Amino acid sequence: MIMEEPLAAFLKEEDRDEAFNLVIDAKYSMQRIINVTNGVDAVYAFRTDGLYACTKRGVFVLDEQNYVEDLWPTPVLDLRGRALEYANGNGALRKIDNYPFISIERAFYDMNTQKRTGYLILFMSGKIIDQALGALPDTDICAVGLDGTYLSGDRNLTRVYDRSFASYKVSHKMYIVRGQRVMISGVRVKDAPIIVISCIPLEGKPLPGRTLRILAFLMAAMAFGLFALGRFVSVNITRPINRLIKAMNIGGSEKELVPISGRMPDNEIGLLRDSYNSMVIRIRDLIQELITKEQTIQRAEMRVLQEQIKPHFLYNSIGMISSLALRNGAGDVSSALETLGRFYRNFLSKGDKEIPLEREVLIVRDYLALQKLRYGEIIRDEYDIKDECLKCIVPKLILQPLVENSIYHGIRLKGEEGIIRVSASIDDDNLLHIIVYDTGVGMSKETADKLMSGIKNVSPDEESFGLWGTIVRLRYYFNRDNVVKIESEEGEYTRIEFIVPATTVPKAEEEK
C-alpha cells in the first residue's frame, strides 16, 4: 500500500498547496485499496503538516485534535515503519454506527530519503472477527481490544475483562454468574491488538484452553492474511509497476526509443507494457518516416546542385570549344581549355573530400597556369615537393585558397613580379610540412596571430576567409590544434606552413 504512487506523492509533496491538489489522486489510490481488500473500511493518510486524505465505507468520526494537534502517538513513531494496531481507534476515531473495528496505524517514510512524511491508518471492520468467531462452535466467546473495548462476540463478556488477559499466556479467572461457577479465560492474539475471552461453565465442560488456542490461532492466521495481502499488492502490482517505470526510463534514455522486454505479469501491467511497446514502435516508424522524407529531400537538393555543375556537360563543352579552336588554328586556346578541363577534373575530384598531395599540387599548377594567362608575367611559380610527400593524403583544396590569397592579397597589390613557391617535406617525426611562400605585400602581425590562434568562432573578414576556412578544415580533419604557422613581414613576404601528420591512408577508408 505504501507503494501506491499517488498516495506517496501526496505524502511526499513539500508544498502544502500542491499537496492539496494531490488529495483527489491519493483518494482514488486509497479507494483501490478498499476495493481489493476484504474487511478494510477506511483509510486515512496524514501529512506531517496535518493535511490528510481519507476514503471510507460508512461514516467515521475522527478526533482530529488527537491526531493532528499532538500529531500521532509516539509509540507509532518509535516503531519506524512497523505497524501498530489498536482496537476501536484508540479512542480517537469512532464509527457512527458504533460497530467495532480495528485500526492499523503506521508512520510513512519516503522510500528514498527515509524521511518520515506522513502517517497512515487503516480501519478493519470488526465483521471479519465476527466471521472468525462464527467459525467456532462455542458461543460464549468475545473479542476485545487491548483496552477492553468490545470488538465482536458476546458483549457481556467485556464486563469481565481483566488487564491480566493482555498476555500471550492464557490466564483464567473464576466467577459466579447467575449462581453458576464459570471460568473466564483470556489470551492475547499474537501480533494483534485483540484479546479473546471465553466463558465456560465449570460443570461438565472443562476444555476452554483448547478452544481459546484455536481461536488465537485463527486470529493469528488473520493477521498473517493481512500481511500476505500487503505482500500480494507489493509483489503483483507495486514491483511490476516499478520495473515497468525503470524499463521505460532506460528505454527513453537510449539513443533511440526501444521497446521494453522485461518480464511482466500477465495482467493489466503486461497490457500496459504491450501498449507502451506498440506506442514506441509507432513513434519509431514515424521518426523513420520523417528521416526518409528528409533524406529524399536532401538527395533531391543534392541532385539539383549536381545538375548545376554537371561536369559531364562542362567537360564536353570544353572539348567542343577546344576542337573549334583547333580547327581555327588557335592552338593556344585549345591548350588553355585543356588546362581548364584538367583543373576542373581535379578540382571536383569525383566528389572525394581527401586526395593525394600530388593531385592537390596539380590543381595549384593548373590554377596558376590559368592565372598566369590572365595576369601575364607578374606571377612566377616554383615547386619543391619531395617525392615521399606525393602520396600523402590531405583534405581537398587546402593549397588552392592559399595561392589564390597569394595572388589577390599579396602579389597583385604589390605591382611588381612576385614568386609563389609551394614546397612540401616530411620531418623525422613523420609530420608533413606544406609551405606556401609568396613575395607579396605580407600581412600584419595581428592578422597573422589572429589566424594562428584558436579563432574558432571569430567570423573572419572577406580577405582571410579562404585561409581561415582551410585552417579550420585541417584542424577538424586531423583533430589537432597546431596545424599552422604563419610568418610574414609587411611589404616583404608571407610564409604559411601547414604541419599535419603524414598519412597515405584516406580517413574514409580508415573508417571502413
Partner 1 sequence: MYKVMLIDDEASARELMKESLDWESLDMYVAGEAESGIEAINTIDDIKPDIIFVDISMPFMDGIQFSVIAADRYPGLIIIIMTAFDKFEYARKCVSLPIFEYMLKPMVRSEVMETLKKAKERLEERGPVQWGASETGDEQLSATEAVMKYIQENYTDSTLNLTSVAQAFGFSSSYLSRKFKSETGKGFAQYLTQVRMENAMKLAGPDVKMFNISAKVGIPDPNYFGRCFKKYTGKSYSEYAQGCPDK
* 470 in Cβ contact with 405 (< 8 Å): no
Binding range to partner 1, per CB under 8 A, among 285-293, 307-315, 420-428, 492-500: 307-315
CB of 508 to partner 1, least distance (A): 14
* Gap between the Cα atoms of 47 and 41, Å rounded: 20
364 binds partner 1 (CB under 8 A): no
Q: Number of H helices and number of E strands within the chain?
A: 16, 19
96 vs 304, beta carbon nearer partner 1: 304
311 binds partner 1 (CB under 8 A): yes
By rule CB under 8 A, what count of residues binds partner 1? 22
Burial class (CB in 10 A: 0-12, 13-18, 19+), 382: exposed
Binding range to partner 1, per CB under 8 A, among 31-39, 220-228, 256-264, 342-350: 342-350
Q: Could you identify the residue written with the cell 599552422? A: 484
270 vs 506, beta carbon nearer partner 1: 506
Q: What's the DSSP call for residue 194?
A: E
Hey, what amino acid is at 425? S
355 binds partner 1 (CB under 8 A): no
Give the CA count within 13 Å in the CB-facing half-sphere of 205: 14
Q: Of 220, 257, 336, 348, which one interacts with partner 1 (CB under 8 A)?
A: 348
Alpha helices in 234-353 (DSSP H): 239-253, 268-309, 311-327, 331-348
365 binds partner 1 (CB under 8 A): no
Q: Of 245, 250, 286, 320, which one interacts with partner 1 (CB under 8 A)?
A: 320
Alpha helices in 4-57 (DSSP H): 5-12, 16-36
Binding range to partner 1, per CB under 8 A, among 201-209, 248-256, 310-318, 427-435: 310-318
369 binds partner 1 (CB under 8 A): no
Binding range to partner 1, per CB under 8 A, among 92-100, 102-110, 343-351, 447-455: 343-351
Give the CA count within 13 Å in the CB-facing half-sphere of 31: 6
**Which region, left, alpha or beta, applies to residue 88 given φ > 0 means left and ψ of -120 to 50 means alpha?**
left
Binding range to partner 1, per CB under 8 A, among 128-136, 182-190, 315-323, 376-384: 315-323
* Gap between the Cα atoms of 332 and 334, Å rounded: 5
* Gap between the Cα atoms of 358 and 390, Å rounded: 5
487 binds partner 1 (CB under 8 A): no
Q: Of 60, 99, 109, 315, which one interacts with partner 1 (CB under 8 A)?
A: 315
328 binds partner 1 (CB under 8 A): no
370 binds partner 1 (CB under 8 A): no
Grid cell digits, residue 20: 492539496
Binding range to partner 1, per CB under 8 A, among 27-35, 308-316, 382-390, 503-511: 308-316
CB of 244 to partner 1, least distance (A): 51
Q: Of 323, 453, 479, 504, which one interacts with partner 1 (CB under 8 A)?
A: 323
CA distances for 217 relative to 65, 189, 210, angstroms:
37, 8, 10
CB of 313 to partner 1, least distance (A): 9
Residues that bind partner 1 (CB under 8 A): 311-312, 315-316, 318-320, 322-324, 326-327, 334, 338, 341-342, 344-345, 348-351
